């Protein structure tokens, strides 16, 4: 494992391959291991792939009760500074997408292109914020078990659930190994995130929007909205996938990224 002292945290990350940099930002409550197939494939196809564990998740500890998207985006910028990467293609899935929105908003000149997977631009409404706070409190008292039980069926498509036990096991393990403090802090950070809907038309880098046809968490309509507002964007809908498109259909996801990057 690589780690770097940036801002007030020790951030864990992978940095593999050489070539133009691609930064992969994982979702919640996961960690950089969700990108294993992408790291292997893209780092052997001409890219330098950097995948951090966002603060509070994976091997990066949380230091506060809330991990904002602003904090996470600034962590990514600080890590890029440390690694002497000026500009990169930034790819985020779900919460990673919220961080990518924040990153391109704060540091537009550092983004060569964007990949937004299973995410959405609007902020949470009041009810969604309340649900996140309830989740955060429950995680702090009960731990992560109930999260795995409650979410696996939404994260993965029926075909994945029926045919890919190794993917189910990896997703379950990532959830169960998440630190409750860090997961609660990320939930609170997502609840506080800003609405990027009106910023979409200002994004002026090539953008690939990816969504699983059967994603109930961030449905296809969310991605169609982003695609309609981001000028230079294309939309890829992946069949037989729900929220974890990159793990459920890695070959299709990797091919899409590779074509986009080249
Ligand atoms: C994720 O996969 O990162 C989460 O579903 C994001 C969210 O809870 O909005």
Ligand 1: does its nearest atom lie under 6 Å from the Cβ of 27?
A: yes
Per-residue model confidence as pLDDT tens digits over 152-187:
999 999 999 999 999 999 999 999 999 999 999 999
- Torsion over CA: 27, 64, 108, 48 (sign): negative
Using only C-alpha atoms, what is the Rg of the chain? 17
Q: What percent of the chain has pLDDT over 90?
A: 98
Would you place residue 71 in the very low, low, confident or very high pLDDT band (cuts 50, 70, 90)? very high
Expressed in angstroms and rounded, the spacing between residue 111 Cα and the centre of ligand 1 is: 22
Q: At what angle do helices 145-155 and 126-142 cross, to 10 degrees?
A: 130
CB burial of residue 8 (10 Å; 0-12, 13-18, 19+): exposed
Would you place residue 62 in the very low, low, confident or very high pLDDT band (cuts 50, 70, 90)? confident
Mean pLDDT taken over the chain: 97
User: Which tokens is 70 given?
Assistant: 């602003």
Per-residue model confidence as pLDDT tens digits over 191-217:
999 999 999 999 999 999 999 999 999
pLDDT of 63 above 90: no
Give 60-125 as a 3 state SS string.
Answer: CCCCCCCCCHHHHHHHHHHHHHHCCCCCEEEEEECHHHHHHHHHHHHCHHHEEEEEEECCCCCCCC
What is the value of pTM for the model shown?
A: 0.97
Expressed in angstroms and rounded, the spacing between residue 240 Cα and the centre of ligand 1 is: 19
Expressed in angstroms and rounded, the spacing between residue 119 Cα and the centre of ligand 1 is: 8
CA distance 155 to 193: 22
Q: What are phi and psi of 59, to 5 degrees?
A: -95, 10
The 10 Å CB-count burial string (b at 16+, else e) for 131-162 is ebeebbeebeeeebeebbeebbeebbbeebbe
Q: Which residue has the tokens 């440390």?
A: 82
Q: Which of 95, 119, 189 to mutate to test the pocket of ligand 1 (most atoms within 8 A of CB)?
A: 95
| pLDDT at position 134 | 98
pLDDT of 223 above 90: yes
Ligand 1: does its nearest atom lie under 6 Å from the Cβ of 148?
A: no
pLDDT of 1 above 80: no
Q: Are 210 and 256 in contact (CB under 8 A)?
A: yes
Per-residue model confidence as pLDDT tens digits over 3-29:
999 999 999 999 999 999 999 999 999
Expressed in angstroms and rounded, the spacing between residue 186 Cα and the centre of ligand 1 is: 10
Ligand 1: does its nearest atom lie under 6 Å from the Cβ of 69?
A: no
């Amino acid at each position: 494992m690589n780690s770097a002292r940036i801002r007030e945290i020790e951030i864990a990350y992978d940095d593999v391959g050489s070539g133009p940099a691609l930064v992969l930002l994982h979702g919640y409550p996961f960690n950089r291991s969700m990108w294993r197939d992408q790291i292997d494939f893209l780092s052997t196809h001409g890219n330098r792939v950097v995948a951090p564990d966002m603060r509070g998740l994976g091997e990066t500890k949380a230091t506060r009760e809330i991990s904002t998207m602003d904090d996470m985006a600034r962590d990514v910028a600080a890590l890029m500074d440390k690694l002497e990467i000026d500009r990169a293609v930034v790819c985020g899935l779900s919460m990673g997408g919220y961080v990518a929105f924040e990153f391109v908003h704060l540091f537009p000149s550092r983004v060569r292109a964007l990949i937004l997977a299973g995410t959405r631009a609007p902020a949470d409404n009041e009810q969604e914020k309340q649900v996140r706070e309830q989740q955060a409190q429950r995680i702090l008292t009960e731990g992560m078990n109930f999260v795995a039980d409650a979410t696996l069926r939404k994260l993965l498509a029926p075909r994945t659930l029926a045919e890919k036990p190794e993917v189910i096991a990896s997703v379950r393990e990532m959830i169960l190994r998440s630190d409750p403090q860090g997961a609660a802090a990320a939930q609170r950070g997502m609840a506080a995130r800003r609405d990027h809907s009106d910023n979409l038309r200002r994004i002026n880098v090539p953008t690939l929007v990816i969504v699983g046809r059967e994603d109930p968490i961030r449905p296809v309509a969310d991605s169609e909205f982003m695609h309609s507002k981001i000028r230079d964007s294309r939309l890829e809908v992946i069949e037989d996938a729900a929220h974890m498109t990159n793990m459920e259909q890695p070959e299709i996801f990797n091919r899409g990224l590779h074509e986009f990057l080249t």
